[in-house]
Chain A
Amino acid sequence: MRPLIQKELREHQLFFFLSLAFVLLSVTILIIFKHKINKNNIEWIQMLFYIAVPFIFAVLFGTLPFTKEFTQNTKPFLLTHPVSSTKIFWIKIFTALASLLILLVSYILRVRFFLNIFTVLKIMLVYQEL
């Protein structure tokens, strides 16, 4: 069972780190272009960070575990392992879910951190208007 879990995690590894890099990159871009943030687009940016990005991760992590088996035609090979198909199913689901949750938690922590920046920016915008 352990090799199966390791296999799943290995398969998610690349995508996991790419997603993490994406999070870091997007936040960095936001800091670089903070002067472009104004009251017209701040809502959109917040929505992108809070809703769109996490949901994209969820969709990607959901499609990844099984499509790979089908597109690379590795499913018949996978079923030859001395583990029941039920176990394989749940291992696939829970490892992908665990990766997703880890990513989301780290993402939320970052967004929480940058939420303060948003708040500061909002206050700055109000001051600018005054």
Chain B
Amino acid sequence: MFYFFLSAILIYSASLLGSLLFKNFFPSILGVPFFLLLIGLVFSPFFVFLFLLAPSLHIFFILLFSSTIGLFLTLSFVIWQKESVSDTGAVKKSLKILVSIFVISLFMHGICNLVSEVELRKSIEQAKSLGLKLRIEEIIPPAVPDEKNGAVVYEEAFTLVDSLQKRYKEEWEYVFPTSKYIPISNVGQLLEESTLEEKNRLSRIVEDPEFILLYKLVEKAVKMPECRFDVEYQAGVDMSHTQIVKMGEAAKIVAVKTGLLVSEGRFQESLDSAILLWKMGDSFANEPLLISQASRTQIKQVSIYNIKKIFETTTLVKIPQEQMDELIKISKDKEMELFLNGFIKGDTTVYLSLFSSTKDRLDGYYFEDVLPFPFYGSYLLRPIFKKDQSCYLKFFVKRMELFSEPYFVSINKSKKLDEQFADYKSFKTKKLLFSSMLLTSNRFFLKRQAEHIVNLDTLKLILALKIYHDKHHNYPNSLALLAPNIIPEVPIDPFTGKDYIYRLEGKGFVLDSAGAKKE
């Protein structure tokens, strides 16, 4: 209602100016749109200044309307006063005022541009100092020759996955219904809950000769020294993630096999299969994207789920020494770094490419329906654009700092950061188009990271406890006894900052994370 009256007053003041200039009824009425357009053009750089200055959309519109109305009234007054004295020179005087206002408007715009530029440069420097890459070319993993590249073997396996999915449509639909997304990490739990008949149906897939071949190919692929998928990184936000999706599908089939072997009590084979899954996850270690790192953690999660399940049931299975060493030496810092590289740095750079070629980007992909300004990258809106970019960078710089700290510390800082930046409905962020679209709350990612760390830590502790048990024929009274002989140091629950819950129970033990449950 407020804007209804403001708009009416704006049109009223524009028609006042028209009536004083044209001195006739109909030309004055016809001149209203022209005046509005003219003032809009003259004032547009100033509007950009107001837009950046205003703390809320409401205040911005009030400033915009009142300044325009003020200008119309000033021009009308000048013309009236001038014509009261003599009949000439009124138009000339008005034009002079318009030109001077345009110059002032441009000056304000220039100042805004300068301030935004300085702010952007600061943000870029800060981001660079933290290792954030600003161009997609910088995050692309180096090329790997085919004979050393596991991805080439995976490609062969993916064709078999397609073929199996087609032939066992019904069985596949049971595990992964098209109506509901089932993450890879849930496969183990899903199989545990399925009936004997359902398991028998699924066994048909893993007994198929094509699956056996697929399994062999995966075994071959994980043994290759490098793995670099042929992802079109240069396409930026338009890049397709076909290989990553296919890898997920392949991992799902292997996870089904692992789960079935566990339920059949074939523990040694299931352990081998779970370790294969673990290595499949590692194939994504160098991929600098959120989606690939998310797949990696999910594949590892199902692997850990099965390994834990096996050790819950039996202690007779043996992990190959080489694998045991790798699992025992799982470095939390390295995992956090991988998270940071993929979850944060990679995707930040990919989305940052939107800023570097805004005009081209606006023509394609999903932003074409979202962006209200097709000329967002133009000179006029440059200060807003720069501010947008610097806000985006600042947010990710702070996010990178968050991800270098344990969850119990970072979650409190994250709340503050979310309040600062991710009050997404507020004008402060919403007026910056890309930032409002791309900035998301940190909590989800932080929790995913912490959950992953808990998974890795508990696996590491279970294996260390098994080694201790093999040596002493009993489990220790405290986890502290595992370090430094078996593991360098006892990991801390990232949710609480304290030790994991550990107690002896019967012949076994209970190991848990209090924080993960609470969360």
Query: Which residues of A does B touch, CB under 8 Å?
Result: 50, 54-55, 57-67, 70-71, 75, 79, 85-86, 89, 93, 96-97, 100-101, 104, 108
Contact = CB atoms under 8 A, between A and B. Distances in A.
Interface stretch (B20-28, B91-99, B159-167): B20-28
Interface string B21-64: 01111001100100000000000000000000000000000000
B23 A67 contact: yes
A82 to B, nearest CB: 14
A58 B15 contact: yes
B12 interface: yes
Contact of A63 (B4, B28, B80): B28
Given A66-B16, A71-B25, A58 B4 contact: no
20 contacts: A54-B4, A58-B7, A58-B15, A59-B29, A62-B11, A62-B12, A62-B13, A62-B16, A62-B28, A63-B25, A63-B28, A66-B19, A67-B19, A71-B23, A71-B24, A85-B84, A89-B76, A93-B16, A100-B12, A104-B4
A14 to B, nearest CB: 14
Contacts of B12: 58-59, 61-62, 96-97, 100
Interface residues of B, number: 29
A19 B15 CA distance: 17
Q: Is the interface of A mostly helix, strand, loop or mixed?
A: helix
B77 A63 contact: no
A90 to B, nearest CB: 8
Contacts of B14: 62
A65 B73 CA distance: 14
Query: Which one of B12, B20, B81 has the greatest number of beta carbons of chain A within 10 Å?
Result: B12
B1 interface: yes
B213 interface: no
Contacts of A59: 11-12, 15, 29, 32
A87 B4 CA distance: 28
A54 B25 CA distance: 18
Nearest to A89: B80
A58 B9 CA distance: 7
B8 interface: yes
Given A59-B29, A70-B24, A101-B5, A85 B80 contact: yes
B346 interface: no
A60 to B, nearest CB: 8
B248 interface: no
A93 B25 contact: no
Contacts of A86: 77, 81
B259 to A, nearest CB: 50
B18 interface: yes
Contacts of A79: 84
A61 B5 CA distance: 14
B4 A108 contact: yes
Nearest to B33: A59
Interface string B376-404: 00000000000000000000000000000
B18 A55 contact: no
Nearest to A90: B77
Contacts of A60: 15, 29
A68 to B, nearest CB: 9
A85 B81 contact: yes
B8 A55 contact: yes
Given A70-B24, A85-B80, A96-B12, A55 B7 contact: yes
A108 B77 CA distance: 30
A78 B424 CA distance: 56
A38 to B, nearest CB: 26
Contacts of A89: 76-77, 80-81
A71 B5 CA distance: 29
A70 B23 contact: yes
A63 B15 contact: yes
Given A66-B23, A100-B8, 17 more contacts: A54-B4, A55-B7, A58-B11, A58-B15, A61-B15, A62-B19, A63-B18, A63-B28, A63-B29, A66-B19, A66-B20, A67-B24, A85-B80, A85-B84, A93-B76, A96-B12, A108-B4
